[in-house]
Structure 1
Amino acid sequence: MPEMTVTVRWPDGRVAECYSPSLVMHDHLQVGSTYRVDDFVKRASVALGEASERVRVKYGFTCSASAASRERIERSAAAFAPHDSVEVLDMQPTLEGS
């Protein structure tokens, strides 16, 4: 199962990488896009939940690293107002054709 990282810039300028055990993040986020903090958390949480479920289907257990990524995102987001902006800087690996 291909792993990926999503690099984001939080409203305070801090850059962070978020891990996903699946490329499903591409279905929910787009490089170069800016999202409200609350929307970013929702999108990332849904994507990481789907990624963890894909791991469960393939290997028989959910992905603890996916849950840890979700917790880090939620903890980071708590420092900002819901309407502040998070920018998606990069997603690796990219999808073919993008």
Structure 2
Amino acid sequence: MDSGEVKPFAGEILRKAADTIDERGKQRDGAGQERSMSRTVAAFNAMTDHKLTEEDGWLFMQYLKDARSRAGQFTEDDYLDKTAYSALQAECAITNHNYRIMRGQCS
């Protein structure tokens, strides 16, 4: 049942997700980066008196993409966005907790 089609590797998915972050940033934020969650969470908190953090917002979006990926037909966008949101959540956590990324090293 192999269609002969080459399946994407995880690295390709990560690169496409990174490209998606960059492209959405150019389309929406002007600075060339996806940075809408801080504003989104601030507006949500003001309207509801909740106290979501920016990290919570990115996690919420991952759950949204999970829910969508389990309904209806397969859409690659659900997985690319979820991957991108996970990276943005990690970036936010690293920034908020003053962690340093050790490039080229694994712990």
Greater helix fraction, Structure 1 or Structure 2: 2
**What interval of TM-score do these two structures reach, taking the shorter chain for normalisation?**
0.3 to 0.5
Structure 2 length-normalised TM: 0.37
Greater strand fraction, Structure 1 or Structure 2: 1
The structure, 1 or 2, with the larger RCO (C-alpha pairs under 8 Å, 6+ apart) is: 1
Q: Which has more radius of gyration?
A: 2
